[in-house]
Amino acid sequence: MHSKDNDELKTYLASRIRFERKKNGYSQEKMASLAGVSTRTYKRFEQSCNGGFDNFINILRVFDRLEILEKVLPPPLSSGVRSMAAIIEDLNKRK
């Protein structure tokens, strides 16, 4: 049951990524280059959302959407865990 549900969710995510890519005017080749993956890997990811979490993070980074991960898995209020915003800020400073 979960496998079928997961496939449906992956299909939805793949379609959203495709929409965002087109909205930004990127070809699949350009998107792959920006995400730091091969064109073949990107096409596979966009088709079925298969390709690994690293690739998903790279794609979110291209769209400047890493902060959505914080919304998906927010840290507990008193955990002492750094916020996604702080991590992204540090990563941007390293560029």
Each residue of 34-75: pLDDT tens digit? 999 999 999 998 988 887 888 888 999 999 998 888 888 777
* Residues 4 and 42 grouped into a single domain: yes
* Residues 57 and 74 grouped into a single domain: no
Number of domains in the chain: 2
Cα-Cα-Cα-Cα dihedral sign, residues 54, 59, 64, 67: negative
* Residues 57 and 75 grouped into a single domain: no
Full residue range of the structural domain in which residue 72 is found: 66-95
* Residues 52 and 10 grouped into a single domain: yes
* Residues 33 and 72 grouped into a single domain: no
* Residues 9 and 29 grouped into a single domain: yes
Q: What is the pTM of this model?
A: 0.71
Alpha-carbon torsion angle 69, 71, 75, 76, nearest 10:
-160
